[in-house]
Amino acid sequence: MSESKTRSPGTQTNDGSKKMLIAMVGIGVVCALLIVFTYEGTFGRIEMLKAEALEQAVFKVLPGITKTGIFELTSEGKFIPSDGKDRTKTLVYAGYDDQNTLKGIAIEAKGQGYADILKVLYGYDPASQSIVGFYVLESKETPGLGDKIEKDENFLSNFNGLSVALSEDFKTVINKVIPVKFGTKENSWEVEGITGATISTRAIGNIMGESTATMIPLIYQQQESFAFAPNAPTK
């Protein structure tokens, strides 16, 4: 910040501009120092809170787990353990119980909602081939309407046992997850909407449909890569 300020008045060398230069640089340096100190002082806690919030979400969507591990999707479509720092990668979170057996995988997905991009996290249980939990990470949907996707119990119950069963060759989801109107849910792969929040619930249904169609076959085929690794960064 202080560097950029020094350039502008520096061409003339009379007393006035020298004074200006000193004042600006001096204040700039003091300000920069203040910011650096605050940053250093709060950095650790901010990182911790952010990681905690994400971890809590993982625990929410995967019931019955006690430990988590982070994995990233490589460009070849393989999952490798990750430290979760690189947010540009597609990250998934594996959840384990006390015996270190894999209980499920939490997957992040996003898409266009009514107001802005919606970011959700959902838990996949390979044993029952179904979605077992759902949590909205980021949403700017209309309060009182679209934001029911975070609270409406009937809507959230869609994601308790939402079927994403795979075909025989484990390459595709047999029935793609689709949104349906409130009161018309007939099959376990349908996401029943909320009256008055049609657009937001449809968006969620479509986000889930897109994400599960690509991620679930990949994850199911590579279940062994999610085996509990004690030296992997877990918490």
Interface with another protein (CB under 8 A)? 1, 5, 9, 16, 19-20, 23-24, 27-28, 31-32, 34-35, 38-39, 41-42, 45-46, 49-50, 53, 114, 142-145, 181, 195-196, 198-199
Pick the closer one to another protein by CB: 34 or 117: 34
| CA atoms within 13 A of residue 228's CA, in its CB half-sphere | 17
Pick the closer one to another protein by CB: 28 or 126: 28
Pick the closer one to another protein by CB: 60 or 172: 60
Please, what is the minimum distance in Å from the beta carbon of residue 92 to another protein? 22
Pick the closer one to another protein by CB: 72 or 141: 141
Residue type, 101: T
Please, what is the minimum distance in Å from the beta carbon of residue 91 to another protein? 18
Pick the closer one to another protein by CB: 143 or 230: 143
Please, what is the minimum distance in Å from the beta carbon of residue 8 to another protein? 9
Please, what is the minimum distance in Å from the beta carbon of residue 113 to another protein? 10
